[in-house]
């Protein structure tokens, strides 16, 4: 009974920080852990947390035991660190491994990226005292073990039952509503669009670029329609579509090239004869032909 009480106290101590400085550093690192959730998805992120809590606690106990055997420390003088330092370390090593270093500014020749602030905060946690250093090392080892052992198969199993996951994802209950609000807090882009949670950063960049290209295409097709209504030449006034289709203003007497026909057919215009006729009517201008085919359909 006494050993069970000690284990319970040890687990409970991992939910409380020791000092305000450690609390601030830990909260900042936990905030940056949302990038790991985007990589794994919410359900697998919870699996990651459960696995690493168990792993890091076992490794921390083993490290204290090894220190006792190797250096002869009295167990009564050794104590575990307060706070989830091991879990934060596991999150940090995965953050460093998963998120690419992309510099967005420079100051006195020093590049700044999303990794700078977490690195400073983690150094502060690492140097609090000897116990915190042991907990951080145990967390780093746990994170590396997860990446080598569990990450290749983390989509095949789950510690979270399906009904609990559905309950937490539903906004019809207060807990799910709060979780949904927290998940979307501060994650809207300038246009008000919520970035896809659980998607990779590269996938989000592709979505943003595709959205910009669609807006440019629509804007310049509308401009072309206005130019045609005013009997003006739209070839030189559509730089984006001209670059997209490789158009430099073809001669109306020449027949459409196979590349132009294939480009329009790849946009969804399946009737080859209609595509060729539209190109001929628009002096082999793919952007104008695409606009005409859109109005015909």
One domain for residues 142 and 280: no
One domain for residues 131 and 18: yes
Kindly state whether residue 291 falls inside one of the protein's structural domains: yes
Kindly state whether residue 181 falls inside one of the protein's structural domains: no
The number of domains in the chain is 2
Kindly state whether residue 183 falls inside one of the protein's structural domains: no
Confidence tier at 198 by pLDDT (50, 70, 90): very low
The sign one gets for the Cα dihedral 268, 270, 273, 276 is positive
One domain for residues 154 and 207: no
Nearest by Cα to 208 from 227, 224, 190: 190
Residues 6+ apart with CB under 8 A from 44: 154, 155, 158
One domain for residues 155 and 229: no
One domain for residues 29 and 118: yes
Kindly state whether residue 179 falls inside one of the protein's structural domains: no
Kindly state whether residue 182 falls inside one of the protein's structural domains: no
Q: Which of 133, 160, 187 is the last residue of a domain?
A: 160
Nearest by Cα to 181 from 173, 88, 229: 173
One domain for residues 8 and 147: yes
Tokens of 113: 């990226």
One domain for residues 141 and 272: no
Q: Which of 104, 127, 160 is the last residue of a domain?
A: 160
Q: What is the pLDDT of residues 99-115, one digit of tens each?
A: 877 777 777 777 788 88
Kindly state whether residue 29 falls inside one of the protein's structural domains: yes
Q: What is the pLDDT of residues 116-147, one digit of tens each?
A: 888 989 998 888 788 888 889 999 999 888 88
| Collapsed DSSP state (helix, strand, coil) of residue 210 | helix
One domain for residues 19 and 154: yes
The boundaries of the domain holding residue 52 are 2-160
One domain for residues 145 and 207: no
The more confidently predicted of residues 185 and 4 is 4
Kindly state whether residue 104 falls inside one of the protein's structural domains: yes
One domain for residues 154 and 210: no
Q: What is the pLDDT of residues 60-114, one digit of tens each?
A: 888 888 888 887 777 666 677 888 888 999 999 988 888 877 777 777 777 788 8
């Amino acid at each position: 009974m006494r050993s069970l009480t000690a284990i319970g106290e040890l687990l409970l101590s991992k939910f409380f920080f020791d000092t305000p400085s450690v609390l601030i550093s830990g909260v900042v690192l936990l905030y940056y852990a949302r990038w790991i959730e985007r990589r794994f998805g919410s359900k697998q992120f919870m699996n990651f947390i459960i696995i690493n809590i168990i792993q890091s606690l076992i490794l921390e106990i083993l490290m204290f035991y090894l220190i006792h055997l190797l250096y002869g420390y009295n167990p009564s003088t050794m104590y575990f660190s307060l706070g989830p330092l091991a879990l934060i370390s596991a999150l940090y090593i995965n953050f460093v491994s998963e998120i690419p270093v992309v510099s967005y500014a420079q100051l006195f020749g020093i590049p700044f990226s999303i990794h700078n602030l977490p690195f400073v905060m983690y150094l502060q946690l690492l140097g609090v005292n000897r116990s915190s250093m042991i907990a951080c090392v145990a967390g780093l080892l746990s994170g590396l073990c997860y990446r080598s052992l569990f990450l290749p198969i983390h989509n095949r199993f789950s510690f979270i039952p399906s009904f609990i996951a559905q309950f937490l994802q539903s906004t019809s209950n207060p807990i799910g509503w709060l979780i949904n609000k927290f998940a979307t807090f501060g994650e809207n882009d300038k246009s008000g669009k919520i970035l896809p949670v659980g998607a990779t950063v590269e996938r989000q960049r592709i979505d943003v670029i595709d959205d910009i290209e669609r807006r440019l295409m629509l804007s310049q097709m509308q401009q072309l329609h206005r130019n045609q209504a005013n009997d003006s030449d739209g070839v030189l006034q559509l730089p984006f579509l001209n670059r997209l289709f490789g158009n430099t203003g073809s001669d109306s007497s020449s027949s459409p090239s196979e590349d132009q026909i294939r480009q329009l057919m790849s946009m969804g215009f399946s009737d080859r004869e209609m595509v060729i006729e539209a190109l001929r009517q628009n002096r082999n201008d793919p952007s104008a032909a695409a606009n005409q085919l859109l109005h015909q359909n």
